[in-house]
Structure 1
Amino acid sequence: MSDHPQPSIRPARATDEEDLGRLDRAVWSYLHAVAPAPEPPYESFFPVHAGPEDHLVAELDGRLVGYVRLGFPTSLASNAHVRQIRGLAVAEEARGRGVARSLLRAAVEESRRRGARRLTLHVLGHNKPARALYESEGFAVEGVLPEEFFLDGAYVDDVLMGRPL
């Protein structure tokens, strides 16, 4: 058993926006990001297509330490039975405390609750810790786009992973 308390997971609220934006900027890295590092003026954390209702957040000791963003892979009605993880972040100081795993499990349950049959995600090929976590939670590699991104001086694969619900 861990000496650390487990994170609590809850739906995001509009009032979380500032904390979520700060967290997102603090953890930015080419290990998982395909866009350049954010610079002021910062865009809204909740884009038009992904409001608070599309996010689950993790708290430890009363502090917001992570989030997962759920969405659809496409806008097609024929694809509406699939949800996609469109972002996952954990504060550096909270890593190794089960936050990402708790968020993933909550995303699976929320996707099921919303009637999804599958859950998918994209992960960069060089992000071995994330890939190992996803595999341990039942995700399998379903496709690879070789050298899809050029990041920080290297070509990186885009890996599609998915799992049934």
Structure 2
Amino acid sequence: MPDLSIRAAHHSDERDLVLLDRDTWSPLHAVGPPPQPPYEPFFHGRFGPSAHLVAEYGGRLAGYVRFGCPTELASNAHVRQIRGLAVSEEARGRGVGRALVRAAVQEARDRGARRITLRVLGHNTPARALYESEGFVVEGVQPGEFLLDGRYVDDVLMGRSLL
């Protein structure tokens, strides 16, 4: 089995991350349209390399997790939020997503967070099962929040304590 490692993202990962986002786009987890050329930069605004951890599997970039604060309010600074997670098709089912979630939880702890939250589409049962198995619980549901492929889909809010 190839080695799996998690590391901080670097500016040099930009091209591979753009391609990963393009190749993993799916209405199962995306609320926007599929990426089209010319592709937007992967790193932007508040989400530069320091807001990402990447997974390397078998020597290749195989996934990423994006994290940050849910708001810019000082009163909310003790919370971190997973803002995106993607795993390449060839690395799925090999523990890459789980390793990224665990690394994001540890990174949130290291940055002094007391809680970590995320949002996931209601019909994304594989992601929801992964998050639940890592201690996240449903804390709220926004019914029919998105219209995707002609269906109304719930936005599920999940979180867990880091204490």
TM range (shorter): over 0.9
After superposition, the C-alpha distances for 1:80-122 in whole angstroms (9 at most, x for unaligned) are: 0000000000000000000000000000000000000000000
Is the CA contact (8 Å cut-off) linking 2:118 and 2:159 kept in structure 1?
yes
RMSD over equivalenced CA pairs, Å: 0.7
Q: How many residues align?
A: 162
**Corresponding position of 2:34:** 37
TM-score after normalising by structure 2? 0.98
- Aligned with residue 135 of structure 1, among 115, 125, 132: 132
- Aligned with residue 89 of structure 1, among 86, 90, 111: 86
Is the CA contact (8 Å cut-off) linking 1:68 and 1:107 kept in structure 2?
yes
1:75 and 2:72 equivalent?
yes
Is the CA contact (8 Å cut-off) linking 2:3 and 2:58 kept in structure 1?
no
Aligned equivalents of 1:50 and 1:66: distance in 2?
16
Letter in 2 for 1:14: H
**Corresponding position of 1:150:** 147
Letter in 2 for 1:100: G
TM-score after normalising by structure 1? 0.97
Q: Stretches of 4+ moved more than 4 A in 1?
A: none
Q: Percent identity?
A: 72
**Corresponding position of 1:120:** 117
1:25 and 2:22 equivalent?
yes
CA drift of 1:5 comes to 3.6
Aligned equivalents of 1:6 and 1:15: distance in 2?
21
